[in-house]
């Protein structure tokens, strides 16, 4: 994980009001704050390169979190020709991927060459590259948007261009938005005119509609028409996990400490990733399973007093006057994800007895979650809905990795902080394999065609929904999240499969959704995980709907509108 911060301002002679004192003060304040936040993403090294010309002033700042290669690399990459690269990404086959990509970019002679080179990258990335020969500033995110890159486009009040991996929340110096993934962008450094180039695009969902396909009767025996698909899914997913956990440098991590962690709910997605990681992580190393649980006063009030919100208005007001002092309540962090996680770690211990599985109980008191709220809101900005906050808060505390572990089930907990810098995340499986309840609803209304349409919609909005926000939140702790289900090879494989091989809404919950993955999990021995029903992270961790007695807000409502 690395941080990128690029700024471009026209020289005063070009007529933009860069000399305006208020604009300059706001710009410098913003730039300083963005540098601090970007440095948190890459604590191992930071540097800045300035490029000045008669028409423009450019600044390239980059920070480095060293997760590949044994020798340190300082960004931005630069050479004697004037080429400059700020890189945040993974080229899975290379140890020093930034240096490797920089050498390839320096050898390009046209924008088409750059487009073709970036289009062949399988892993996640965000980059800003100054092509000295072409006098172009080139910037982009991968087609799935797995790495954050925010853009502020010049306005009359803020007449400069900014590109940054992070945000600092609301600030008068910018209006950030997620950089779209449909294009690779090229800006003429002399004429300051944007030229979007065609980017690599994702394939479309297989639109073939089955006619009364055979039903799977149980998970214990794989029917012939699914045998190949199950084996191929395991192959592609196993390779994706392998590429994301191998060769992680032991920077600041001692022998016998975990280099890999999993954002772990005990559901089928995170459990499958943990199991496959076991195949490729040194057997002498622990794997940390990060499981987050929130103290939620609303949930506690329901347990003690019943659902006050469901009472008639007069009774509800009277109840509110007589409320208990919840600070005296003994808080138990037995949220749904804690219970399923504790069950599932025991299954992993049975299947992989030689591995140390650190089940990290990350318990978040209500006061602590509320104190962190301004920080989380700033990190996730420009995302600003109620649901954004619920999800971002869960990821923020889980990625921080401060909690407790037990040597075995029933043992007393011991304080523990996960040193792992690489976090595996199961995001993407529901979108690709039909795991949401809305897929079952769509089928009830309009059959297989409706599911195909819904899966295409899921694919189209993956770049704009969660990934940039999650990247900004998790990386604030100097950690990097990796998404094996969103490897382009896994995505391409699943997109070409007919819909009925991936999901079957005719079957009961805990069986039909993500049916292909459930069969694969059962084949490798994950018996309990294979039948576990989906629980959204914000509800499984109790990070949603914190305030007792308050009206329940819809997830898409804006915070403090």
Which two structure tokens, joined as six digits, stand for 474? 């998790």
Per-residue H/E/C for 101-157: HHHHHHCCCCHHHHHHHHHCCCCCEEEEEEECCCCEEEEEECCCCCCCCEEECCCCC
CA distance 21 to 26: 9
Mind telling me the catalytic residues?
2
DSSP characters for 27-51?
Answer: HHHHHHHHHHHHHHH-BTEEEEEEE
Helix crossing, 268-280 with 515-523: angle to 10°?
40
Number of Cβ atoms within 10 Å of the Cβ of 550: 11
Which secondary-structure segment (H or E) carries 374?
helix 366-380
Contact call for residues 133 and 344 (beta carbons, < 8 A): no
State how far Cα 490 lies from the chain centre.
17
CA distance 450 to 429: 19
What is each CA distance from 165 to 59, 117, 186, 560, in whole angstroms? 15, 22, 18, 24
Could you tell me which of 342, 526, 337, 516 has the C-alpha nearest to residue 430?
A: 516
Beta-sheet pairing, 480-482 with 422-424: parallel
CA distance 183 to 39: 27
């Amino acid at each position: 994980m690395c941080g990128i911060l690029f700024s471009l301002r026209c020289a005063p002679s070009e007529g933009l009001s860069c000399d305006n004192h208020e604009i300059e003060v706001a710009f410098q304040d913003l730039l300083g704050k963005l540098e601090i936040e970007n440095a948190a993403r890459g604590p191992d090294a930071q540097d800045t390169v300035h490029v000045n010309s008669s028409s423009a002033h450019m600044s390239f700042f980059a920070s480095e979190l060293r997760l590949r290669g044994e020798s340190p690399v300082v960004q931005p990459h630069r050479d004697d020709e004037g080429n400059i690269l700020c890189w945040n990404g993974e080229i899975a086959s290379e140890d020093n991927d930034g240096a490797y990509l920089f050498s390839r970019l320096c050898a390009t002679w046209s924008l088409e060459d750059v487009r073709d080179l970036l289009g062949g990258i399988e892993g996640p990335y965000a980059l800003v590259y100054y092509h000295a020969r072409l006098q172009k500033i080139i910037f982009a995110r991968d087609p799935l948007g797995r790495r954050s890159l925010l853009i502020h486009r010049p306005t009359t009040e803020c007449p400069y261009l900014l590109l940054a991996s992070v945000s600092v929340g609301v600030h008068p110096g910018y209006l950030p938005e997620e950089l779209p993934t449909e294009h690779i962008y090229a800006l003429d450094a002399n004429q300051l005119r944007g030229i979007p180039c065609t980017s690599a695009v994702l394939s479309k969902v297989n639109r073939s509609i089955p006619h009364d396909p055979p039903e799977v009767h149980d998970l214990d025996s794989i029917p012939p028409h699914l045998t190949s698909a199950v084996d191929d899914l395991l192959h592609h997913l196993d390779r994706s996990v392998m590429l994301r956990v191998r060769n992680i440098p032991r920077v600041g991590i001692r022998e016998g400490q975990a280099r890999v962690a999993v954002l772990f709910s005990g559901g089928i997605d995170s459990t499958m990733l943990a199991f496959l990681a076991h195949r490729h992580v040194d057997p002498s190393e622990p794997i940390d399973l990060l499981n987050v649980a929130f103290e939620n006063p609303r949930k506690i009030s329901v347990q003690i007093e019943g659902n006050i919100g469901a009472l008639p208005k007069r009774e509800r007001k009277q109840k509110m006057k007589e409320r208990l002092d919840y600070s005296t309540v003994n808080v138990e962090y037995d949220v749904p994800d804690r219970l399923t996680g504790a069950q599932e770690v025991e299954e992993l211990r049975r299947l992989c007895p030689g591995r140390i599985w650190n089940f990290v109980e990350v318990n978040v008191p209500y006061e602590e979650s509320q104190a962190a709220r301004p920080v989380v809101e700033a990190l996730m900005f420009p995302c600003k809905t109620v649901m954004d906050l619920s999800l971002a808060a869960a990821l923020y505390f889980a990625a921080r990795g401060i909690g407790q572990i037990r040597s075995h089930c029933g043992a007393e907990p011991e304080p523990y902080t996960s040193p792992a810098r690489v976090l595996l995340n199961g995001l993407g499986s529901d979108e690709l394999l039909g795991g949401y309840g809305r897929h079952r609803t769509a089928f009830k209304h309009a059959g297989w065609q409706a599911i195909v349409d819904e899966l295409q919609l899921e694919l189209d909005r993956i770049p704009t929904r969660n990934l940039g926000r999650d990247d900004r939140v998790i990386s604030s702790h100097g950690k990097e999240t990796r998404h094996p289900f969103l490897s382009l090879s896994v995505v391409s494989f699943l997109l070409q499969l007919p819909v009925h091989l991936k999901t079957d809404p005719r079957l009961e919950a805990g069986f039909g959704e993500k049916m292909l993955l459930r069969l694969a999990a059962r084949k490798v021995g994950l018996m309990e995980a294979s039948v576990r029903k989906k629980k959204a992270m914000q509800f499984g961790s109790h990070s949603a709907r914190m305030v007792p007695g308050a009206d329940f807000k819809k997830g898409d409502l804006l915070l403090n509108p």
